[in-house]
């Protein structure tokens, strides 16, 4: 029996999520704007999915990638917002060990998927503006489907090992997570063993995803800018810029808090913990809230279809 116990990882039955340490008294009121944003995110992204699915004229690469983004936003925000609101309003911070790992997987996997979809959307704009005559042949339906599948598979293959490594670790009696959801490094800090492999793998995944995706996005938009500036018609330039502005706003809304959170979690020890956790929440809820608004308002074809759908009655 002793040998069996020595090889079986010691895992707590559950963890306790604190919410936002240092803002325990303010959490009740902080929950209200998050709840409103979550409601807007759910409603807005569901409307986008319905419009894109029902309107055959929107079955183009740009809108198909937008549908992937809307679905990703729904899963990403739902994986942590309901539990976070339960913590803030009712103090319901307890979460089972397996449930915590499942939440960790969904949060980090779909964060990776969102990054990949934004990269795919940048490539779509590159081909649409730089190679307009070949755009439909380059990004055909099978290619769009394959890109979406690869982005999802990439997230699963990169995030699943982190969960597997945690599942095989011994945890201390201290089971309090100073966060509102099961974030990878916050859970790693509760392990009693050497966690250098876990920390190194977490950094590797974060850098591999962000560096590759941001590089592709920056190169794509650099080429787009060069192509747009060479256009002779100012009207065509304006339309191209208008389309790209929506994508740039969405990209910044996602990557700025992601990079801030990732860097401060490892290097910004002087930054107050509640600031770090609040910013971590922002990239989970702000992009899902803003994306349908930005695309619904700035994309004329999509805006017209949404208006028609409401006139008919959803």
From CA 265, how far away is CA 286, in angstroms rounded? 19
Residue 169 lies in a domain: yes
- Residue 8 covered by a domain: no
Q: Is residue 192 in a domain?
A: yes
Question: Residue 213 belongs to what H/E stretch?
Answer: helix 196-229
Q: Which of 148, 81, 145 is nearest to 113 (CA)?
A: 148
CB atoms within 10 A of CB 147: 21
List the domain range (segments joined by +) for residue 277: 14-312
Residue 1 covered by a domain: no
Place of tokens 């290097």: 267
Is residue 195 domain-resident?
Answer: yes
Q: How many helices (H) and strands (E) does the chain have?
A: 12, 3
Instruction: Count how many domains the chain has.
Output: 1
Please calculate the CA angle 156-202-103 and round it to the nearest 5 degrees: 50
The whole-angstrom separation of Cα 78 and Cα 69 is 14
12-33: pLDDT as tens digits? 899 999 999 888 889 999 999 9
Residue 186 belongs to some domain of the structure: yes
CATH of residue 300: 1.20.1070.10
Collect all residues with Cβ–Cβ distance below 8 Å to 22 and sequence separation of at least 6.
Answer: 272, 273, 274
> What pTM was computed for the model?
0.91
- Reported as a single tens digit per residue, the pLDDT across 161-181 is 999 999 999 998 778 998 999
Q: What CA–CA distance (Å, rounded) separates 31 from 83?
A: 11
- CA 90 to chain CA centroid, nearest Å: 26
Residue 76 lies in a domain: yes
Q: Residue 74: which of 101, 113, 104, 102 has the closest Cα?
A: 113
Strands 14-17 and 176-177: parallel
- Count other C-beta atoms under 10 Å from residue 140's C-beta: 12
The structure tokens 């992937």 sit at 68
Yes or no: say if 159 and 191 are a contact pair by the CB < 8 Å rule: no
- Local structure of residue 58 (DSSP, 8 states): G
pLDDT of the chain along its 314 residues, tens only? 444 444 566 788 999 999 998 888 899 999 999 999 999 999 999 999 999 998 888 889 999 999 999 999 999 999 999 999 999 999 999 999 999 999 999 999 999 999 999 999 999 989 988 898 899 899 999 999 999 999 999 999 999 999 999 999 999 877 899 899 999 988 998 999 899 999 899 889 988 898 999 999 999 998 988 888 887 667 767 777 776 777 788 888 888 887 777 766 666 567 788 888 888 888 789 999 998 888 877 777 888 878 777 777 65
3 part of a folded domain:
no
Tokens in use for 159? 């995030």
The C-alpha atoms of residue 48 and residue 114 are separated, in whole angstroms, by 16
């Amino acid at each position: 029996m002793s040998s069996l116990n020595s090889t079986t990882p010691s895992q707590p039955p559950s963890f306790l999520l604190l919410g936002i340490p240092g803002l325990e008294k303010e959490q009740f009121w902080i929950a209200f704007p998050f709840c409103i944003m979550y409601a807007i995110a759910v409603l807005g992204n569901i409307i986008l999915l319905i419009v894109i699915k029902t309107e055959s004229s929107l079955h183009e690469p740009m809108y198909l990638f937008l549908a992937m983004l809307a679905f990703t936003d729904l899963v990403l925000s739902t994986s942590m917002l309901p539990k976070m609101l339960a913590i803030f309003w009712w103090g319901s911070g307890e979460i089972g060990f397996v449930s915590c790992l499942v939440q960790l997987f969904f949060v980090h996997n779909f964060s990776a998927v969102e990054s990949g979809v934004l990269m795919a959307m940048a490539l779509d704009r590159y081909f649409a503006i730089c190679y307009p005559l070949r755009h439909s042949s380059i990004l055909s339906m099978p290619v769009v489907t394959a890109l979406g599948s690869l982005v999802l598979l990439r997230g699963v293959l990169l995030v699943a090992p982190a969960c597997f490594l945690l599942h095989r670790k011994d945890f201390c009696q201290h089971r309090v997570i100073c966060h509102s959801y099961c974030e990878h490094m916050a859970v790693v800090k509760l392990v009693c063993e050497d966690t250098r492999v876990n920390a190194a793998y977490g950094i590797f995944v974060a850098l591999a995803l962000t560096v590759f995706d941001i590089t592709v996005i920056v190169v794509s938009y650099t080429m787009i800018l060069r192509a747009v500036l060479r256009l002779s018609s100012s009207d065509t330039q304006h339309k191209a810029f208008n389309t790209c502005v929506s994508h740039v706003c969405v990209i910044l809304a996602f990557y700025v808090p992601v990079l801030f959170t990732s860097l401060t979690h490892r290097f910004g020890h002087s930054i107050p913990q509640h600031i770090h956790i609040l910013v971590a929440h922002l990239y989970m809820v702000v992009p899902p809230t803003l994306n349908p608004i930005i695309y619904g308002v700035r994309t004329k074809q999509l805006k017209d279809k949404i208006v028609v759908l409401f006139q008919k009655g959803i």
